[in-house]
Amino acid sequence: MTDQFDLLLAGAGHAHLGVLRLWMGGQRPPGRIGLISTGPYAWYSGMLPGLLAGRYRAEQCRTPLQSLCCEVDVELLQGEVRALDPHARQFTLDDGRQCTADWLSLNLGSLPKVPAGSGATLEVLPVKPFEAFLAGWQRWKHSPRSLAILGGGAAGVELALALASQVPELTLLSGGAILAGHPAALRKRALRHLADARVRVEEGVAVDSIHGNALVAGNRLVWRGTRVILATGASALPWLAQSGLACDERGFVRVGKTLQSLSHSHVFAAGDCATLEATPRNGVYAVRQGPALAVNLSAALSGQPMRPFQPQRRSLALIADGRGGALLSWAGITAEGDWLGRWKDRLDRRFIERHHGTH
């Protein structure tokens, strides 16, 4: 049997949380609305390194979705979307349920890229989805072994700094220089923190395959061990491109400034799963898209004109140093210190508090 909605939000990502938060303030449009989420919580990546380092408890780093949805009269549908038919306006979930809506909105995030494997004996743990990652890490941390982290972006660096003291030996492998896209001064600061934490850093090592217990870049064996965490750049959920929505060459949904799909205007997409000019893929931009998406979903339901999303030109990055402090990068300026860690902590806690329903 097909369930019929006016609007379906797929994925409890940062942008959809922003939409629900604005609706808590009284801006919910009329109609039957559902949120499809794989689990009962939306995890906040900004606090994940602090959780792993033991500074937060799990319940401090996630938004319970049931109470938030109750607050704004949105039906929470727990399940994983496995397919989308944009013509029929229909999602198929992992348990076979089918849900249809006049308007669809996608905020599904992305997954780390997985190197090709042959006869891999390594245990590989992708950092997303977070529930699976956290469950995997709980298992690993009781029998610490040497670890490699693939990916030298902010996520890989934060994870390395959070986990270095919990394993006998940690190697961070980065396809290019670490923290590419940030000022060279930030990279220097991060390398110093990584050295202090006894993390071995290998830059310019693009691991493309796993053979047995070895990581291989090109023809070169670059690491041998038993456990690897993947914090590599974003890859798209495969069923997005298979759905027939216009996607870029990497499979991310192409949207225009109103966050509507370029091929199917009744489908919106925001955050990591979407491709929009001048908009990097990270949590800051996903959060920023929330208010614009809320306005346009209301406009869609009430037949009003849409408003364009204006990406900010600069964004603040605060990278946890694993010991309570943080490194800052903003508009070419870099800094570090415990005070930045306290500031980051306040911003992160406020993000979680803002999305708590009262039910």
User: Which residues are near ligand FAD by CB under 6 A?
Assistant: 10-15, 36-38, 42, 45-46, 48-49, 80-81, 107-109, 127, 129, 154-155, 158-159, 231, 237, 271-273, 281-284, 286
Cα 279 to Cα 288, 334, 357, distances in angstroms: 10, 22, 30
For the record, the structure tokens of 270 come out as 């925001």
Smallest distance from ligand FAD to CB 132, Å: 10
The residue among 15 and 104 lying less far from ligand FAD, judged by its C-beta, is 15
For the record, the structure tokens of 80 come out as 């994983």
Smallest distance from ligand FAD to CB 318, Å: 6
The residue among 59 and 118 lying less far from ligand FAD, judged by its C-beta, is 59
Cα 271 to Cα 198, 215, 217, 245, 315, distances in angstroms: 34, 31, 30, 16, 15
Smallest distance from ligand FAD to CB 13, Å: 3
Smallest distance from ligand FAD to CB 348, Å: 8
Smallest distance from ligand FAD to CB 263, Å: 20
Smallest distance from ligand FAD to CB 16, Å: 7
The residue among 213 and 315 lying less far from ligand FAD, judged by its C-beta, is 315
Helix axes 14-22, 283-302, angle to 10 degrees: 50
The residue among 216 and 237 lying less far from ligand FAD, judged by its C-beta, is 237
Smallest distance from ligand FAD to CB 8, Å: 11
The residue among 281 and 323 lying less far from ligand FAD, judged by its C-beta, is 281
State the DSSP H helix or E strand holding residue 251, giving kind and residue range, or none if neither.
none
The residue among 199 and 237 lying less far from ligand FAD, judged by its C-beta, is 237
CB 123 within 8 A of CB 226: yes
The residue among 71 and 80 lying less far from ligand FAD, judged by its C-beta, is 80
For the record, the structure tokens of 100 come out as 């249809």
325: three-class secondary structure by DSSP: coil
By Cβ distance, which residue is nearest to ligand FAD? 271
In sequence order, the 6+-apart residues with CB closer than 8 A to the CB of 121 are 212, 213, 226
CA dist., res. 182 & res. 143, Å (int): 35
The residue among 216 and 286 lying less far from ligand FAD, judged by its C-beta, is 286
CB 5 within 8 A of CB 33: yes
Smallest distance from ligand FAD to CB 301, Å: 21
Cα 228 to Cα 41, 142, 151, 201, 223, distances in angstroms: 26, 16, 11, 14, 10
Phi/psi for 23 (5° steps) reads -65, -30
